[in-house]
Structure 1
Amino acid sequence: MLQKIGHRGAQGYVAENTLASFQKAIDLGVDAIELDVHCCASGELVVFHDFTLGRMTDGVGEIHNFTLPELKELKVANQYDIPTLEEVLLFVDRKCKVNIELKGHNTAKAACDLILQCIEDHNWLMSDFIVSSFQSDELEKMVHLNPQIPLAILTQASVEQAMEWAKRFGATIIHPHFSLLTEENCKMAKVLGFQINTWTVNDLSDIERIKKWGVDGIISDYPDRI
């Protein structure tokens, strides 16, 4: 069954990577949410896309230089808090699966710890998670920390590169940008045993075309369009 995945929550409707955006995605019936994490100066994983604060908040500077209390003083889109990954996972509470993108450096260990904590203390399953990244060093760390955590290879380069990396890291999931997809390379990836979740697909005609190619999941700012 095609997985409906909300990009940074439902960022077409509510400011990205906020609890309100994740709630909107859940209300729209997603199978999973996708989010991004950075490690802040006090060590916590915060859910935020950019390496710098200026686009989405009233702050200025690189997010990894700020402690969690400092980040909590800022507002996303003038009204929302920057959540921690722990806060998001407690908030979601298995209402859907969670795709954690390791965006910042040194995020693998903290993400692994939180995933295992959710499994041990809050009855999550390993299959409730996907960890994805463009960064080979974070992917490699995650494999060494716990090879059972489902891993996905993000790419804007090519489907072939994603499959090469997937073989290297023992991953069975690839996350190529939708512009890289063709009917042929989707078929090839499926024959080789890879799951395909593609991003960020918002146009209805693109969604309908890609559905016909047998992808496993579509990541969208407007998950209700899938």
Structure 2
Amino acid sequence: MYKMTNRVPIFAHRGASGYTLENTFKAFEKARLLGADGIELDVQCTKDNRLVVYHDLDLFRLTGVRKKINECTLEELIKYPLGKHILRRFSKERIPTFQAVVEWANGYNMPLNIELKETLLNNHNAMIDCLQKLELPMGSHFSSFHDELMRVVKMQRPELQTAIIATKKFNWQDLWKQSHIDAVHAHRKYYKPEYFKACIEAGKGLRYYAITGKEPYLANPDPSVIGWITDFPDTVAKAANRKK
């Protein structure tokens, strides 16, 4: 384990997805054992308004089922083994509920980076019901490509941190206007001075994703950086802890 408290926090992308199946308890536990400082995960909504942890809108990639996740009830979803191709025939992994993952995280005081996905755009009520009673480990936060979902989070729970995920169309110069946004999550290709400056001037933090551990700046990051998101938390931790 390479966990340290004096470096930029490292969030394991969909758990330790570089080593095991994404967004499963196996991936989350692997990340914890590898010393990750937090877990990044994806939250979708089912047909019967239950929040579950799964990345894709379509189920086919990991279940072989040609349906969308919001066309299924929770009872139906938990019957589908998760895995890639033929391996899923032998898999005991199932789509976790968000509630179960939160309980796991609270048990280990493991911060969560909760990405809210597209199925919640037409179902704010399910998210609001969850937010009103949600207790999370310190250091947890919400993120999304969808600005309106971050507005809902901030309206319901102003004390919770929110992060917008940058796209090509993202206007970095307007960040200072976004009072409902606390941070920006960006691909490592945006690790450039102009983006550091935009976030510092707006008073927002930066977390970078798709980090591999080979980046030369990990041991001495820009002050604007408040997090790394990676499939390989142990590799990134080694690089971040390495002395210059």
TM-score bracket relative to the smaller structure: 0.7 to 0.9
Amino acid aligned to 1:117: K
**Is 1:89 aligned to 2:102, yes or no?**
yes
1:114 offset after TM fit, Å? Answer: 3.6
Stretch deviating more after TM superposition (85-94 or 20-29): 85-94
Q: Give the Cα–Cα distance (whole angstroms) in 1 for the partners of residues 173 and 231 of structure 2.
A: 25
Q: Give the Cα–Cα distance (whole angstroms) in 1 for the partners of residues 35 and 125 of structure 2.
A: 30
- Aligned match of 1:172 in 182, 185, 196? 182
**Is 1:209 aligned to 2:217, yes or no?**
yes
**Is 1:157 aligned to 2:165, yes or no?**
no
Residue deviations 1:47-70 (CA, integer Å, cap 9, x gap): 000000011113221110000011
Calculate percent identity across the aligned residue pairs: 29
Relative to structure 1, is the Cα distance of residues 145 and 195 closer, same or farther in structure 2, using a 3 angstrom cutoff?
same
1:30 offset after TM fit, Å? Answer: 1.2
| Partner of residue 133, structure 2 | 117
- Aligned match of 1:197 in 203, 207, 210? 207
TM-score normalized with structure 1 length: 0.87
Q: Give the Cα–Cα distance (whole angstroms) in 1 for the partners of residues 37 and 24 of structure 2.
A: 18
**Is 1:183 aligned to 2:189, yes or no?**
no
5 Å-filtered alignment, 1:97-112, equals: 97-106=111-120, 109-112=125-128
1:3 offset after TM fit, Å? Answer: 0.6
**Is 1:11 aligned to 2:17, yes or no?**
yes
Q: How many residues align?
A: 218
1:143–1:169 Cα contact (<8 Å) kept: no
Q: Give the Cα–Cα distance (whole angstroms) in 1 for the partners of residues 160 and 181 of structure 2.
A: 9
1:139–1:169 Cα contact (<8 Å) kept: no
1:165 offset after TM fit, Å? Answer: 5.2
Decide which structure has the larger Cα Rg and report it: 2
Q: Give the Cα–Cα distance (whole angstroms) in 1 for the partners of residues 141 and 56 of structure 2.
A: 20
1:31 offset after TM fit, Å? Answer: 1.2
Residue deviations 1:109-154 (CA, integer Å, cap 9, x gap): 54454455343xxxx45x4320111112212222222222211111
Amino acid aligned to 1:218: W
2:131–2:156 Cα contact (<8 Å) kept: no
Amino acid aligned to 1:97: P
Q: Give the Cα–Cα distance (whole angstroms) in 2 for the partners of residues 18 and 197 of structure 1.
A: 23
| Partner of residue 143, structure 2 | 132
Stretch deviating more after TM superposition (190-199 or 72-81): 190-199
* CA RMSD after TM alignment: 2.2
Relative to structure 1, is the Cα distance of residues 137 and 22 closer, same or farther in structure 2, using a 3 angstrom cutoff?
same
1:4–1:223 Cα contact (<8 Å) kept: yes
Relative to structure 1, is the Cα distance of residues 14 and 183 closer, same or farther in structure 2, using a 3 angstrom cutoff?
same
5 Å-filtered alignment, 1:15-30, equals: 15-30=21-36
Amino acid aligned to 1:54: F
Relative to structure 1, is the Cα distance of residues 63 and 166 closer, same or farther in structure 2, using a 3 angstrom cutoff?
farther
Amino acid aligned to 2:217: R
Ranges in structure 2 where 5+ consecutive residues have no aligned partner: 1-6, 237-244
